[in-house]
Structure 1
Amino acid sequence: MFQPMALTFIFAMIGAMILCLTYVPMVSALFLRVPKNDKKSYGDKFVHWVERKYEPLLTKSLSKGKVIISVAVALFAVAIFAFTKMGGEFIPQLDEGDLAFHAILKPGSSLTETIETTTKIERIVKSEFPEVKTIISRIGVADVPTDPMPMDIADVFVILKPSDEWTSASSKEELLDKMKEAVSIVPGVNFEFTQPIEMRFNELLTGVREDVAIKLFGEDLDILASKAEEMGKIIASVPGVADMKVEAIDGLPQITVNYNRNKLAQYGLEINQLNSVVQASFAGGKAGVIFEGEKRFDLVARLKAENRTSINDIQNLFINLPSGAQIPLKELANISYEPGPMQISRDNTNRRTYVGINIRGRDVKSVVEDIQVRLDEQFELPPGYFLRYGGAFENLERASNRLQTVVPIALLLIFILIYFALKSFPQTLMIYLAIPMATIGGVFALWLRDMPFSISAGVGFIVLFGVAVLNGLVMISGLNELKEEGVTNLRDRIVEGTKRRIRPIMLTALTDILGFLPMAISSSAGAEVQRPLATVVIGGLLTSTLLTLFILPIFYQWVEKRSERKVKLNPNYVTATAIVCLLFTIPSAKAQEVASRMDTTIVQQESYPEIVLDSAVTMARQSYPSLQTGKLEIQRQNVLKASAYDLGSTQLFTGGEEIASGQGIYTLIGIGQQNIDLLSIGAKSDYKNNVLH
Structure 2
Amino acid sequence: MMNSSGISASLLSLGAVDFGIVVDSAVVMVENIMRRYKNATPAEKQKGIVRFTYDCATEVGTEVLFAILIIILAYLPIFSFERIEGRLFKPMAFTLSFAIFGALLFTMTVVPVLMSFFYRRYFESKNPGPIEWHNPVYEWVERKYEKIVHYLVDRSKKVVMIAFTGVTGLLIVGACLGTEFLPSLDEGGFTLRLYFPVGISLPEAKKFVPKIRGMIYKNEQVNMILSQYGRNDDGTDPLPPNRLEIYVGLKDYKNWNEKITKEQLLIRMRNDLEEGLPGVKVSFSQPIMDNLSEAIMGTIADLAVFVSGQDLKEMRHISQQILDIVSKMKGASEYGIEQEGPAPQLVIRLKRAVAARYGINISDIQNVIEAAVGMEPISYLYEGPMDTPPKERALFGIAVRFAKDYRQSAREIANIPIISPKGERIPLSELAEITQEDSPTMIFRQDGKRTITVRLNVRGRDQGGFVAELQEKVKKEVKIPEGFEVRYGGQYENLARVGKQLAIVIPVTIGIIFGLLFMLYRNLKSVIVALSCIPLSLLGGIYALLGRGYYFNVSAGVGFISLFGIATMAGILFVSKANHLRHDDIMMSVREASILSAVSQLRPRLMTMLLALLGLIPATMASGVGSDVQRPLATVMVGGLASALFLVLTVMPSLYILVMGSKEDVKSKGSSKSLSGDYASIYPEPEYSFISDDEEYQAPTEKSKKKLKSNKDKKLKRIFSFLGFTVG
Q: Which residue in 2 is equivalent to 1:306?
A: 404
Larger radius of gyration: 1
Contact 2:322 2:478 in 1 (8 A): yes
Contact 1:487–1:493, Cα closer than 8 Å, also in 2: no
1:299–1:493 Cα change, 3 Å: closer
Matched ranges for 1:238-249 at <5 A: 238-249=329-340
Amino acid at match of 2:119: L
SS of residue matched to 1:453? coil
| Residue matched to 2:41 | none
Which residue of structure 1 aligns with residue 618 of structure 2? 518
**In the TM superposition, what whole-angstrom CA distance separates every residue of 1:217-264 from its partner, at most 9, and x where no partner exists?**
121000111121121111112111121011345422211112233431
CA RMSD, aligned part only? 2.5
Moved more, 446-455 or 139-148: 139-148
SS at match of 2:354: helix
Q: Distance in 2 between matches of 1:209 and 1:361?
A: 18
Q: Which deviates the most, 158-167 or 43-52? A: 158-167
Q: How many residues align?
A: 579
Whether the 8 Å contact between 1:410 and 1:462 is mirrored in structure 2 is no
Q: Which residue of 1 aligns with 2:511?
A: 412
- Tell me which residue corresponds to 1:501: 601
Map 1:466-545 to 2 at 5 A: 466-486=565-585, 488-490=587-589, 491-545=591-645
Give the 3 Å change call, closer, same or farther, for CA 488–317 of structure 1 in structure 2. Answer: same
2:216 corresponds in structure 1 to 125
**Number of the residue aligned with 1:94:** 185
Q: What is the CA–CA distance in structure 1 between the aligned matches of 2:278 and 2:147, rounded to whole Å?
A: 74
Higher alpha-carbon deviation: 188-197 or 506-515: 188-197
Say if 2:423 is the partner of 1:324: yes
Structure 1 counterpart of 2:576, one-letter code: S
CA distance in 2, matches of 1:368, 1:459: 23
Counterpart pick for 1:72 among 154, 158, 163 = 163
Aligned counterpart, 1:269: 360
1:430 corresponds to which residue?
A: 529
Q: Confirm or deny that 1:6 pairs with 2:104.
A: no
Could you tell me which residue of structure 2 aligns to residue 285 of structure 1?
Answer: 376
Among 19, 33, 38, the alignment partner of 2:106 is 19
Deviations 1:496-534 (A, max 9, x none): 222111111111101111222221111111111111111
Shift of 1:357: 0.5
Name the stretch that deviates more: 430-439 or 184-193. Answer: 184-193
| 1:149 partnered with 2:239 | yes
Q: What TM-score comes out, normalization by structure 2 length?
A: 0.75
Cα distance in 1 between the residues matched to 2:335 and 2:94: 40
SS of the aligned residue for 1:155 comes to strand
SS where residue 527 of structure 1 aligns? coil
Structure 1: state its 5+ residue gaps: 574-612, 622-693
| Paired residues for 1:106-505 under 5 Å | 106-127=197-218, 129-164=219-254, 166=256, 170-185=260-275, 186-291=277-382, 293-295=389-391, 297=395, 299-303=397-401, 306-307=404-405, 308-486=407-585, 488-490=587-589, 491-505=591-605
CA shift, 1:451, in A, is 0.8
Equivalent residues in 2 for 1:583-662, closer than 5 Å: none
Identify the range of structure 1 (113-122 vs 165-174) with the bigger mean alpha-carbon deviation: 165-174
Partner of 2:684: none
TM-fit CA distance, 1:548: 2.5
Q: 1:404 Cα deviation (Å)?
A: 1.2
SS at match of 2:330: coil
SS of 1:342 mapped into structure 2: coil
Return the offset for 1:554: 1.3
Give unpaired runs (5+ residues) of structure 2: 1-86, 384-388, 667-689, 705-728
Distance 2:664 2:424 in 1: 118
Instruction: Tell me if structure 1 keeps the 8 A contact 2:198–2:340.
Output: no
CA distance 1:43–1:376, change in 2 (3 Å): farther
C-alpha displacement of 1:43: 7.1
**2: CA distance, partners of 1:542 / 1:511:** 11
Measure how far apart 1:444 and its partner are.
0.9
With over 3 angstroms needed to count, the CA separation of the structure-2 counterparts of 1:43 and 1:136, relative to structure 1, is farther
Tell me if structure 1 keeps the 8 A contact 2:228–2:244.
yes
Cα distance change on mapping 1:276 and 1:163 into 2, 3 Å: same
The whole-number CA distance in structure 1 between the counterparts of 2:320 and 2:611 is 56
Say if 1:221 and 1:249, in contact at 8 Å, map to a contact too.
Answer: no
User: Which secondary structure state, in structure 1, belongs to the residue aligned with residue 208 of structure 2?
Assistant: helix
Which whole-Å deviations, capped at 9, do the CAs of 1:393-447 have from their partners, x for residues lacking one?
0011111111112211221121111111122111011111111111111111111
Aligned partner letter, 2:657: Q
Q: Give the 3 Å change call, closer, same or farther, for CA 267–34 of structure 1 in structure 2.
A: same
Residue 614 of structure 1 and its aligned partner are, at CA, apart by 5.1
Instruction: Render the CA deviation track for 1:434-476: whole Å, top value 9, x for unaligned.
Output: 1111111111111111111111111111111011010111111
2:145 to 54, 62, 82: 54
Answer yes or no: is the 8 Å Cα contact 1:252–1:342 preserved in 2: yes
Corresponding residue SS for 2:494: helix
Going from structure 1 to structure 2, the CA distance change for 1:47 and 1:175 (only over 3 Å counts) comes to: same
**Aligned residue identity for 1:11:** F
On the 8 A contact 2:663/2:693 being kept in 1, the answer is no
Q: Which amino acid aligns with 1:173?
A: E
